[in-house]
Amino acid sequence: MRAHVLTKYGKTNDVLRFVEHPLRPPGQGEVRIDVEAVALNPVDVKTREGEPKVLLPFAPPFVLGSDLAGTVVEVGAGVANLRPGDPVYAYAGMDRMGAFAESVVLPASRVARRPANLGAVIAACLPLPGLCALQALDAAGVGRGARVLIHGGVGGVGGLAVQLAHQRGAEVYATVGPRDLDRARALGATHPIDYRESRFEDAARELDFVFDTVGGDTLTRSFGAVRRGGVVASLHVPPSAEALRAAGLRAPWFLRALLPLLTRKPRGLAARAGARLVPILSVPGAAGLESLTRAAEGAGLQVTIDRVFPFEALADAFAHLTSGAARGRVVLGRR
């Protein structure tokens, strides 16, 4: 099979090679998937550049990519819930990756049947951001009547979080740009906030839950919008060493020593606000994907696709993703 192999870490696409790459047969509890579509995520760019290299349990050369949709073509011993011919999707996980390939072997526990009403391109956009959104909403117990604020409310993670929170019956505030107010309403945001015109902490107060997908000053100010006893979840607060290991990643001693310093400011802000701070690190799992499938097949889930590139054109897709021109998801598609 052919795969996009990262030969070494680097900031330019010449570190990628689209080459023939060996693939082992599925072992106990694993499945082999013919990949039809792979969605690019910002973490793919960071991985190419080597930002998370101290966490990864492997080093180049390896195959990038985590969010995929395809068809099961072979199952290993002990797999009872999937069979050849099943249309599926998966978040491969940072501890495995391998999605930018024509075929990939993954644990069946990370794979689920994809929504019957979605094609491979849309389905490939759901796993990682959808699992992040679910983890955040579940951590806060968001349900009917909850008042929530989601930053980046039409982004890859934020857009799904808005929809899932709305489906649960929450009252949803969302920060977006001026061009995206109507889009946010269509996704389920009762109160879209133009972050360029309004301070969200003035427009939304005493919230049960705030989901930060932006970081920096947005995270700092979020503690002014949450009620005492509420929850602030963030993609931009380093997770604990235990969470890293649970996700199959490394937690070297120097990182463990740094974590208290790296998280001191947000932990202090949370303590002063009387709120609980929850770092979000998505963990692969079929159970979460099955929840996404139910949401997509029930009330529905919308994803904005900016552009689909041919499967061999990963370098072009990366260039487009990092250009800032993409308004929606960037995907590699084989069919």
Q: What confidence tens digit (pLDDT) does each residue in 182-208 have?
A: 999 999 999 999 999 999 999 999 999
Confidence of residue 310 (pLDDT cuts 50, 70, 90): very high
Collect all residues with Cβ–Cβ distance below 8 Å to 129 and sequence separation of at least 6. 41, 156, 157, 159, 160
Query: What total of structural domains would you count in the chain?
Result: 2
258 and 132 inside one domain: yes
103 within a domain of the structure (yes/no): yes
- Residue 335: is its pLDDT beyond 80? no
45 and 94 inside one domain: yes
How far is C-alpha 19 from the geometric centre of its chain's CA atoms?
27
155 and 218 inside one domain: yes
- First and final C-alpha spacing in the chain: 16
115 and 147 inside one domain: no
71 and 194 inside one domain: no
Could you tell me if 317 and 4 are in contact, meaning their C-beta atoms sit under 8 angstroms apart?
no
Length of the chain: 335
* Structural domain that includes position 267: 128-279
pLDDT at 196: 93
CB atoms within 10 A of CB 178: 10
β-pair partners for 173: 149, 191
285 within a domain of the structure (yes/no): no
pLDDT at 3: 97
264 and 177 inside one domain: yes
Return the structure tokens found at 181.
Answer: 């107010």
160 within a domain of the structure (yes/no): yes
**Greatest Cα-to-Cα distance within the chain, rounded to the nearest angstrom:** 57
pLDDT at 147: 98
Cα dihedral value 283, 286, 288, 290, nearest 10: 160
What distance in Å separates the CA atoms of residue 179 and residue 202, rounded to the nearest whole number? 21
What distance in Å separates the CA atoms of residue 115 and residue 146, rounded to the nearest whole number? 27
23 within a domain of the structure (yes/no): yes
The average confidence (pLDDT) of the chain is 96
257 and 144 inside one domain: yes
21 and 159 inside one domain: no
Q: Tell me what the mean pLDDT of segment 242-251 comes to.
A: 94
Rounded to two decimals, the pTM is 0.96
136 and 274 inside one domain: yes
212 within a domain of the structure (yes/no): yes
pLDDT tens, 18-63? 999 998 999 999 999 999 999 999 999 999 999 999 999 999 999 9
Preceding amide of 61 cis, omega within 30: yes
135 burial (CB, 10 Å; 0-12 / 13-18 / 19+) is: middle
- Residue 325: is its pLDDT beyond 90? no
122 and 202 inside one domain: no
What distance in Å separates the CA atoms of residue 280 and residue 303, rounded to the nearest whole number? 21
- Residue 324: is its pLDDT beyond 90? no
Residue 3's H or E segment, with its range, is strand 2-6
How far is C-alpha 231 from the geometric centre of its chain's CA atoms?
20
88 and 220 inside one domain: no
pLDDT tens, 57-83? 999 999 999 999 999 999 999 999 999
294 within a domain of the structure (yes/no): no
In 3-state terms the chain splits into helix, strand, coil percentages (rounded to 5) of 35, 25, 40
Residue 162: CATH number of its domain: 3.40.50.720
164 and 86 inside one domain: no
pLDDT tens, 138-187? 999 999 999 999 999 999 999 999 999 999 999 999 999 999 999 999 99
Task: Compute the half-sphere exposure of residue 185: CA atoms within 13 Å on the CB side of its CA.
Answer: 7
